[in-house]
């Protein structure tokens, strides 16, 4: 068995009045959403970068440039599916992933199980291999001031 580990990090700014796409779902009644070329799903972007990083395939900006009309307003679930295709076409499977979302508000803890299910479906694994954790930054820094969201993702790939 061969293994590869990857990590990803992403940040997006919050803007009042935009829909908040996070972990593959639209957070109900969120007053603000993420400024981005795509739907701004910062959690799925960090996960894409972790998967690409595990196989040294560059980063999300290289594969889905924010200057390209093709990815304007893109559903990040489609970006994640495209990255997963690169992973599986090389014979790799996801052993597990662990994602930490830092967001001051709204509280998203009640949505993390839904996110796990959606992400697991795209990665082709069971939800018990997908961890999504939510935290605040105790009102510190840009995240704490409600200016943006940060996400860290790690992933372990395996190949027989």
Q: Which is nearer to Mg ion, 22 or 157 (CB)?
A: 22
Q: Angle, to 10 degrees, between the axis of helix 76-89 and the axis of helix 42-54?
A: 10
Quick check: helix, strand or coil at residue 53? helix
List Cα–Cα distances, 63 to 55, 68, 82, 130, in angstroms.
Answer: 14, 10, 9, 24
* Among the residue ranges 10-18, 79-87, 104-112, 123-131, the one whose residues contact Mg ion (CB under 5 A): 10-18
Query: Per rule CB under 5 A, is residue 39 in the interface with Mg ion?
Result: no
Q: Smallest distance from the beta carbon of 126 to Mg ion, in angstroms?
A: 27
**Which residue has its beta carbon closest to Mg ion?**
45
Query: Per rule CB under 5 A, is residue 10 in the interface with Mg ion?
Result: yes
Query: Per rule CB under 5 A, is residue 77 in the interface with Mg ion?
Result: no
Q: Which is nearer to Mg ion, 64 or 111 (CB)?
A: 64
Q: Which is nearer to Mg ion, 41 or 116 (CB)?
A: 41
* Among the residue ranges 7-15, 18-26, 120-128, 149-157, the one whose residues contact Mg ion (CB under 5 A): 7-15
Q: Which is nearer to Mg ion, 45 or 116 (CB)?
A: 45
SS3 content of the chain, % helix, strand, coil (to 5): 35, 30, 35
Nearest to 119 by CA among 64, 63, 77: 77
Nearest to 90 by CA among 54, 63, 50: 54
Q: Among 14, 33, 45, 87, which residue interacts with Mg ion (rule: CB under 5 A)? A: 45
List Cα–Cα distances, 99 to 18, 31, 49, in angstroms.
Answer: 23, 23, 12
Q: Which is nearer to Mg ion, 63 or 93 (CB)?
A: 63
**Binding interface with Mg ion (CB under 5 A):** 10, 45
């Amino acid at each position: 068995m061969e293994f590869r580990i990857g990590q990803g990090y992403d940040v997006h700014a919050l803007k009042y009045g935009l829909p908040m796409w996070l972990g593959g779902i639209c957070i109900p009644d969120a007053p603000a959403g993420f400024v981005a070329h795509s739907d701004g799903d910062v959690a799925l972007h960090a996960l894409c970068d972790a998967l690409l990083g595990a196989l040294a395939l560059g980063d999300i900006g290289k594969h889905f440039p924010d200057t390209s009309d093709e990815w304007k307003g893109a559903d990040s679930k489609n970006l994640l599916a495209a990255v997963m295709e690169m992973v599986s076409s090389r014979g790799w499977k996801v052993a597990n992933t662990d994602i930490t979302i830092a967001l001051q508000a709204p509280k998203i803890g009640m949505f993390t199980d839904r996110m796990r299910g959606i992400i697991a479906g795209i990665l082709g694994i069971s939800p018990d291999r997908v961890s999504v954790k939510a935290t605040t930054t105790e009102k510190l820094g840009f995240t704490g001031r409600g200016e943006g969201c940060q996400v860290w993702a790690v992933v372990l790939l395996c190949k027989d």
